[in-house]
Amino acid sequence: MYKKNQFYCLTPEWQEEMARKLQGKFIDDKIITFPETLGRGSTFFIQIVPGIAAVLMDFVLTAPLKIDRIEDEIERYVFHFDLSEGENNIAIRNKNKTVGNAVKLGLSIFNNQQQYYFEPAIGSRVFVVRLFVDKKLMNELIENNPESENMLQKIKFSKKKLFYSSDIDSESLLMLANLREIPVTETSFDVHIKGIALKLLANVLLILAKPQEESNEMTVSEREGILKTGKYLSENVHQSFPSIQFLARIAGVCETRFKILFKKLFQRTSHDFFTQEKMILANKLLQSGDYKTLNEIIEELNYSSSNQFTVKYLKFFKRKPSEDFIRKYDKIKE
């Protein structure tokens, strides 16, 4: 495996700077306790082995907080395990990713060379474990794995704008739940988190190494979840198409699984399904005789411009909206 001093390590200095910004206490080069003005709780930092460090966040906020990326030029991968009770937010390249909640617990993987920040929920317990893995070490772990091809099919680690999300496996979930019950002030906490951190990383690599499932059979609960998203899309066609992440959360599956199962059940993608439902409604509204202008319908369907609506309608029905439009006064004349 690795040689001594081959990989770059994180040092506690960034924690000291964070403690100063938060106006919290910095204890033993590893614990930051929060001031009462911000909430209650702490963060815990530890170097696991050369090339791997861990940060545990366990607190309840009473005021907004943004935790920025570590200012570090060394390339690392971030493994974000979120067992929080509320919904937190990771903003990467100005795009928001909802992570963690009591219903869907999740894993996110991204690299530290992107601009990102973590915005925890206010008023509910935040419990997050982050592993920082040196890129050189990660590449070595992948290369030495006999199933490296499977791993790289699932995650393109070489991508500069990497963001991957998935469920936490049951074994890791249990370990994290147990860790959540141990105070960071306990003497043996260092030993606990070091062992768990290495096992968490090992579990992720094992799951990534498994071949892609050939079967797309869905469970009863998955079917119910997908049907639930179909119903949601049908009932909200007046709005813009929601994100896949949002729909997957409703269904209770990861985003990749959601795309596969939705297409299997409805014979089309969720976006195509939504467009079809929207166009069917548009046709009904156009021929209802309840509107004086096309713009009224366009606004009701939440399109940003008449051109956008016309292009969509023409593509779907092979004719322009104006050809189907019955104005309100036209109906009265009849």
Q: Quick check: 8 and 18 in contact, CB under 8 A? A: no
Q: Give the CA distances from residue 233 to residues 96, 219, 287, 319, in Å, rounded to whole numbers and listed in that order.
A: 21, 21, 22, 25
pLDDT at 11 over 90: no
Question: What's this model's pTM, rounded to 2 decimal places?
Answer: 0.64
pLDDT, position 39:
95
Q: pLDDT tens digits, residue range 246-258?
A: 999 999 988 888 9
**From the CB of residue 146, how many other CB atoms can be counted at a distance below 10 Å?**
7
What is the largest distance, in Å, between two alpha-carbon atoms of the chain?
88
pLDDT, position 105:
52
Mean pLDDT calculated for residue range 30-56: 94
pLDDT at 332 over 50: no
Per-residue tokens: 135: 């890129």
Percent of the chain with pLDDT over 70: 92
Burial level of 52, CB count in 10 A (0-12/13-18/19+)?
Answer: buried
pLDDT band at 2 (very low <50, low <70, confident <90, very high): very low
Q: Quick check: 59 and 40 in contact, CB under 8 A? A: yes
Q: Which helix (H) or strand (E) holds 104?
A: none
Of the candidates 45, 123, 42, 46, which has an alpha carbon nearest to the alpha carbon of residue 88?
123
Of the candidates 54, 173, 47, 160, which has an alpha carbon nearest to the alpha carbon of residue 107?
173
